[in-house]
Structure 1
Amino acid sequence: MGEPVPVPGPGAGIEEISAFAHSYDGYALHGQHPAPTARDTWNKDGTLGDDVDVLRACLFFEARANRFGGGFGRFERDPYILALVARIRDLSGGFVAGRP
């Protein structure tokens, strides 16, 4: 494992959230989006689950979609993205394991 990675705090900008999202290689660790319905579930009942790796993968794939979709949305203001980051922060105590 690499150095611990700090989870962005409330009010973080797109650069910090995007850098954090890309600190986890969802392609290498999951191959594909591990929970493609995670956003739908969150929209329906506000739950995200307790698996930090799955949450990080969801954030990674959302960041990739934003980047390759042109980045015209307000990624850093998307309530789902903010909920993912907050949940990761809550579960991890503010730091996650770095990946080599």
Structure 2
Amino acid sequence: MARQVRVPDEDADSQDFINFAHSYNGYELRGGLEALAAMVQSARGRWHRTGELGEDVDVLRACLFYEVRAHRHSGGYGVFEQEPFVAALVTRIRSLSGGLVQTKGRVA
């Protein structure tokens, strides 16, 4: 059974953002790494061009999951929640969801 998790506030610490990002399994729910990466590339490109992220919370959460995995695989340097795309994603997810979402996919 899925449990609800709170979307972190903008002043939450890195671990809260990382834990939240892992509450959605983008690999499982978006057809694997290649399909997920293509979706994220499209969403990130649109955000860079227009500043818009759309209204689909699942797409936004998949992007956040991808970003946290990329952050980890690049060595985990830098402050995850201060990455502009990450901060924008979490702000939009919080706005659309009212601050609570359900875990999705197999998550730890």
Query: What TM-score, normalized to structure 2?
Result: 0.85
Percentage of identical aligned residues: 51
Distance in 1 (CA, whole Å) between partners of 2:28 and 2:3 is: 18
The code of the aligned residue for 1:10 comes to E
The code of the aligned residue for 2:16 comes to E
**1:23 Cα offset (Å):** 0.7
Structure having the larger proportion of residues in helix: 2
Q: Deviations over 1:47-96 (max 9, x none)?
A: 00100000000000000000001111222111111110010001000000
In structure 2, what is the equivalent of residue 55 of structure 1?
Answer: 60
In structure 1, what is the equivalent of residue 27 of structure 2?
Answer: 27
List, as ranges, runs of 4+ consecutive aligned residues in structure 1 with deviation greater than 2 Å.
none
In structure 1, what is the equivalent of residue 48 of structure 2?
Answer: 43
In structure 2, what is the equivalent of residue 98 of structure 1?
Answer: 103
Output the aligned Cα RMSD.
1.3
In structure 2, what is the equivalent of residue 83 of structure 1?
Answer: 88
* Stretches of structure 1 lacking an aligned partner (at least 5 in a row): none
Query: What TM-score, normalized to structure 1?
Result: 0.92
How many pairs were matched up? Answer: 100
The code of the aligned residue for 1:81 comes to V
Is the partner of 1:10 in helix, strand or coil? coil
